[in-house]
Amino acid sequence: MFKPGRKEKQFSLDDRFLTFPKYIVEALQKSFAEDFFTTIFLKINEDHFSVLYSETFSRPNKPVNILVSL
């Protein structure tokens, strides 16, 4: 069964990695991960993919933006 993801519940680099050491946070911010998250991942419209989901609870449900971005 399709359930749209809530964008405000998605993780962000600002609060997800606060417990990481400074050098890891800097490396992640310099990598493609932050740009990918803001320019691609958050802009995937999950409603377009709702027809692919079963109406019954017969199979696992994964967020569309994760499946598409893989």
Contact call for residues 53 and 61 (beta carbons, < 8 A): yes
What per-residue confidence (pLDDT) applies to 25? 80
What per-residue confidence (pLDDT) applies to 11? 55
Query: Per-residue pLDDT tens for 14-66?
Result: 666 667 888 988 888 888 888 888 888 888 888 887 777 777 776 656 777 77
Per domain, the residue ranges of the chain are: 7-69
What per-residue confidence (pLDDT) applies to 16? 60
Residue 40 has which token pair? 């691609």
What per-residue confidence (pLDDT) applies to 5? 65
pTM for the structure as a whole = 0.51
